[in-house]
Amino acid sequence: MNARAVPSPLPALDRIRLGVGTLLGDAAALASRALGKGSGASIRGQILTRAYPGAFGALVKRRRIAAVTGTNGKTTTSHLLAAALRAGLGSEAGRLVTNADGANLHYGIASALAKAPRADLAVLETDERVVKDLLAQGRPEVLVMLNFSRDQLDRNHEIKFLARSWREALAAAGPDGPVVVANSDDPLIVWSAQTAHRVIWIDTASTWTADAALCPECGGLLQRTNPSEGSPTGAWDCPACPLSEPAADYVVRGTDVQLPDGTIVATRLNVPGAFNVANAACALAAAVQLGVAVPDALAGFSTVRSPAGRFAVATIGESLVRLVLSKNPAGWAESLPLLKTDPVILAIDSVAADGKDVSWLWDVDFEQLGDRHVICTGPRAYDLAVRLEYGDVDHEVILDVADAVRAVRGTPDPVDVIATYTPFQKLLKMAGLR
């Protein structure tokens, strides 16, 4: 690992305010857990930042930071990167703090950092809307930029606005800004990373292109050329301006990753899916930049099995299930091919954490489930049922998530369940995983 950072001390008054806010937040978190409302991480951070509004800025200034952001894969990539760093740190792993529960807004990040005042290295899953403030106030050493996709359409109306905020923040940071680890397959990511002082490009072999039809620089129609096994959609290019897919430093090749020197290493992940190989490639590049040897990073990856409950196999009552989180069309496109069971359960909701607009259901290729029986559940189950009806997919509606899980009790093998954020959290609670 690189040399240890020396946290800058807070002024005495700020230390007092931070201490009081942390105590009040801890009390709120304890009450949240006692009432069965969750881990308490978010409420701790909300109380802390109300008691001390400058808590976020004060806490992110005091340590080395590797931040992970993007629409899909933040939690898993953060877990992989943290595991790689722990493997590289060895006996000094106590130096590391991370918001492992996925609370990635200002108060979630503040909550995690306040609980580890002596940790001088942080891996922070960071919501796309928080990146600008983190760059301005925390000066992260590494920023992993995964992808942009339509998500929570009622709040993020146009993802280019988010990309522009990143681009402007990186430009403002200048040479003091982070080394960026960026997905070269995503035109919006490439455009937003152009202003960074240094970028490590990752060819993630992405297959989802529905959010990348137009050039973010000039608005021209992008073209894709030379699809291959290693690059299933081909390299992208804008014929109307100079923007094009940059040459990659790390390249995903099936379940392996090609390093900058041409060496190919096996990821041997314990989380499924091609998208997680892409996440691992980004985490590997970030870990190497932070001073971790490749073998140590890969060994750390192997310890990650169900990050924040994703892909966990759990018993709920008399039912055995495998839990998969998917929140938007890009995520569903990656998750649906992982389904192995018949029937499958799909759980849909549309509160704030899920995004209130469920029109995205029509962008998902549910037709690939045509040979399965689907149990639709959750408050928006009938919206899903209409989509499946048009796709000629056999289905039934069981509105209550607990009843839907109960309907598959007694199966010898885990039944696959894909859920949006809110029903996924409910399932974790039912399974005793949060």
- Does residue 325 sit in helix, strand or coil? strand
Cα(9)–Cα(12) distance, integer angstroms: 9
Report the binding-site residues: 215, 218, 238, 241
Tokens of 305: 């099995």
Residue 357 known to be catalytic: yes
Catalytic residue (one of 14, 120, 357, 394)? 357
Cα(21)–Cα(27) distance, integer angstroms: 10
Cα distances (angstroms) measured from residue 342 to each of 105, 154, 214, 261: 37, 33, 38, 44
- The phi, psi pair for 277, rounded to 5°, reads -65, -40
Report the binding-site residues for Zn(2+): 215, 218, 238, 241
Tokens of 27: 């009390």
For residues 43, 112, 147 and 182, what is the CA-based torsion angle, rounded to 10 degrees? 160
DSSP for 50-96, written as a single string: HH-TTHHHHHHTTSEEEEEESSSSHHHHHHHHHHHHHHHHGGGGGGE
Name the residue with tokens 């529960």. Answer: 101
**Is-contact 150 328, C-beta < 8 A?**
yes
- Does residue 315 sit in helix, strand or coil? strand
Question: Using CB atoms within 10 A of its CB, is residue 175 exposed (0-12), middle (13-18) or buried (19+)?
Answer: exposed
Please list the active-site residues: 357
